[in-house]
Structure 1
């Protein structure tokens, strides 16, 4: 069999990774008639998809922005700041950080904003379409996404993100102190301003949502295997052989959806993406009787309190320390008093602490496209902080692009190309 650029229903598709991106892709391709198998060493929704803030929120603000490099030293010396970089990781990933600085130019930030919103602006509708009529629908809430500010300076300093959203035409509502109180009366009355994105969705249990998507994919014929991937090779006919700790797989097509662990697989398929593991943390508390109805992001402290069905989740921090280092909960622990300040009725006892790896690219855009080494491979990873948000729309784009079914002209697919 020779290389064929067009994926066709009836072909076997092996997906590497069972996070939000892998499971939504499994369901999307199974519904199109592909014979889908998903491989993951732990199971659906058990990685970064387990511990996120549950937001499915349009974003137009890339992390790399004008002026940000000058703010980094202050962030690094702040013991409760949102950023930490281990010196060894800085040296190891120097090409990534240099590219990140380049992406901070005004022209690059604006281009990345447009490409980011082209996907994320359709994220909520894509999720609704994907799970319509399934039990997963019960896990999403149409409550928007709220950011709150405890000072006028914080509100002013956050203006670039609001400007990005407005230039993209995204709906944004600016709230006064009284309006914040009316919307979320169980937050402490310390917030002088708010910003609501009304078109955001909230997953009250992200792991259960991903598991429900996987269950629906299985109902459509998809198979899920717990195996550890050891090697990928491209055969002379363009097929990809995937060796695991259990067996060898020789499917018609392979899709890489392994998040922060995708780099070595992508290298085997002809690309060398600038991808690093950005570590995020959360702490879980018991849910108080009087709680918020939606996540609330305290901008000055870069922390989110999320009213999950299993308790209140505090999510925070961007830490660069690779894939193998042990978690360090010091910064997370320092923010627990801030959580009490934000929601005084919260019980200060931490029920659980967690760390996960986000797949970070310098331009804040995912890697989405056909593998350079063979059209029988496809990349769908690098979704940064927006893995849950972008998973369903990325799955839709992947199906349309790979099957050549016709892609929306509003999707600038070249912006997400593997070689960029």
Structure 2
């Protein structure tokens, strides 16, 4: 066994995306010996290319955002906000059924309360983690601007905004003549907008994740590059076998491997219906357009985010699993729409990207112990909200590991809820 060579580490974390990094930071701060294992590196995969938002006001589960009503229209457009390759549809049907059930009125209240509780905790935990790690300068508090192309589209959004009223989420609806003050140079076809002043973004999600990792390292966390093939109980510890031939030992295991997590959870008896939402983006050079804050085009399923390192245009959903080749025509389609919505946008010099969002049907992650085990923990399935919810997830997993009472009720985040 190799893990500190003399004895098993206290904790092994599989996954060095933003969720795994935040968990490692919280555990290392608590004085535990932590080793993070990942096949590539720190924030090198899905966490490197997200939309950079701290979306604390985004409390509505996807199935309850009117998405179901849009599905037939979206599926008719292979480059639209939602795509499902026909060959993948049979495999996806059980997940789609659960997604449909998650949108039922009977599920609304529970899902909304659970998401809102996690978001409230996430905002507080991120503020504290940024202070401890000295990363506060990477936070932008410019708010967001959601844009509507018709009065009907705007009115359809109102029930969702009203739901946010219950949780004290501040927003302001704008008339057409007010839009330019929040974002000059917009396409004239936008008739209404909604400004959310509390919406936050970060200067670059990959750079933030790497900075949080340096903080964890300062508290003793270590990194091993390796591709995990198998994790299983052994005598007095958990054995983690790497495809490179090594076996690593730990007293406790955290599975935070994003879209691959359900494959590892299966090894501990939990069948979690996790699906992969493949997201696409193009990051343009920083001078492509003077975007003041994150712009949200919900009808088209993408956002535009100003970063310190460029202008990121991306989003959309492609439910296509882990093995299909990327379809970068989807990134090109969003870029073309952005050019329409931001006349004068310089679309040259862009860098295309695709990442794997780990998504569960009810839009809530799994944050829990494994079934019947006190030494294995799950932290995955955050969908579009991994960056947003990572600090809260780190704090909750720390509390579970240390035997403390978690700050929120974790029953809605159980792997057994399906």
Cα pair 2:63 2:99 within 8 Å, conserved? yes
The total of aligned residue pairs comes to 408
Number of the residue aligned with 1:64 = 63
TM-score (norm 2): 0.93
Q: Could you tell me whether the CA contact under 8 Å between 1:18 and 1:45 is conserved in 2? A: yes
Q: Does 1:123 align with 2:122?
A: yes
Give the superposition deviation at 1:236: 5.3
Which residue number in structure 2 is paired with residue 78 of structure 1? 77
1:153 and 2:179 correspond: no
**What does residue 228 of structure 1 align with?**
227
The alignment's TM-score, normalised by the length of structure 1, stands at 0.92
State whether structure 2 residue 412 is matched by structure 1 residue 415.
yes
Which range moves more in the overlay, 158-167 or 266-275? 158-167
- Structure 1 Cα separation of the partners of residues 260 and 78 of structure 2: 28
- Conserved 8 A contact 1:64-1:109: no
Checking the alignment, whether the CA contact within 8 Å between 2:288 and 2:346 is kept in structure 1 is: no
Between the aligned partners of 1:384 and 1:31, the Cα distance in structure 2 is 27
SS of 1:419's equivalent in the other structure is helix
Give the aligned partner of residue 3 of structure 2: none
- Contact 1:62–1:113 (8 Å) recurs in 2: yes
**Which residue of structure 1 aligns with residue 378 of structure 2?**
379
Q: Tell me which residue corresponds to 1:5.
A: none
Asked if 2 retains the 8 angstrom alpha-carbon contact of 1:60 and 1:168, the reply is no
**Match in the other structure for 1:331:** 330
**Structure 1 residues 246 and 236 mapped into 2: Cα distance closer, same or farther (>3 Å)?**
closer
Query: What is the rounded CA distance, in whole Å, between the counterparts of 1:312 and 1:82 in structure 2?
Result: 20
**Deviates further, 227-236 or 259-268:** 227-236
Which is worse superposed, 190-199 or 296-305? 190-199
Provide the residue aligned with 1:205 in structure 2.
Answer: 204
Instruction: From 30, 33, 48, give the equivalent of 1:32.
Output: 30
SS in 2 for 1:117: helix
C-alpha separation between the residues in 1 aligned to 2:67 and 2:148? 20
The match for 1:19 is: 17
Query: Retained in 1: the 8 A contact 2:20–2:256?
Result: yes
Q: 1:252 matched to which residue of 2?
A: 251
Q: Is this contact kept in 1: 2:51–2:315, CA < 8 A?
A: no
Q: Which runs of 5+ in 1 are unaligned?
A: 1-9
Q: Could you tell me whether the CA contact under 8 Å between 2:288 and 2:345 is conserved in 1? A: no
Q: Is the 8 A contact 1:165 1:172 kept in 2?
A: no
Is 1:168 the counterpart of 2:167? The answer is yes
Runs of 4+ with deviation above 6 angstroms = none
- Computed over aligned residues only, the root mean square deviation of the Cα atoms, in angstroms, reads 1.9
CA distance in 1, matches of 2:120, 2:162: 15
CA contact (8 A) 1:57 1:124 kept: no
Indicate if the aligned counterparts of 1:40 and 1:225 stay in contact, CA closer than 8 A. yes
Contact 1:279 1:318 in 2 (8 A): yes
Distance 1:356 1:191, change over 3 A: same
CA distance in 1, matches of 2:93, 2:169: 34
Q: Could you report, residue by residue, the CA deviation over 1:198-247 in whole angstroms, capped at 9, with x for unpaired residues?
A: 2222012000000111111101100011111011112354x321001241
